[in-house]
Amino acid sequence: MSVYRSQVKIVADVLSSINDGSEGQNGLGITRIIQKANLSYGRATKIITRLVDSGLVEQITIDNNQRYILSHKGIEYLRSHSDFADFAESFGMKL
């Protein structure tokens, strides 16, 4: 039986992908985000657009390519999510 990811887990996976895959300030392209977060193109673009609008991710353009980097707010969100996931796991719950 497969277990579905919650929307919060998917957002955390996208943010983690951007955080782990960004080389310096070059950011990460949509293709690598899709691969690392295991999402379809349509779903990934909707989520990334929402993350950019909320200020968790910054969109930059390098050589006419859109790249994404975590903002300070995105780093804080990822840290808080990780802390809460650890806390929930200590009580035997999964996010």
pTM of the model: 0.88
Q: Is residue 15 part of a domain?
A: yes
Tens digits of per-residue pLDDT, 33-51? Answer: 999 999 999 999 999 999 9
For residue 67, list its beta bridge partners: 60
Residue 2's pLDDT is: 63
| Cα dihedral 34/40/42/48 (nearest 10) | -30
Look up the CATH number of the domain holding residue 82.
1.10.10.10
Q: Is residue 1 part of a domain?
A: no
Task: State the total domains in the chain.
Answer: 1
Helix (H) / strand (E) element for 69: namely strand 65-70
Residue 55's pLDDT is: 97
What span, in angstroms and rounded, lies between the C-alpha atoms of 7 and 66?
24
Residue 68 near residue 28, CB atoms below 8 Å: yes
Structural tokens at position 4:
């579905």
Best-predicted range by mean pLDDT among 22-26, 48-52, 82-86?
A: 48-52
Q: Is residue 83 part of a domain?
A: yes
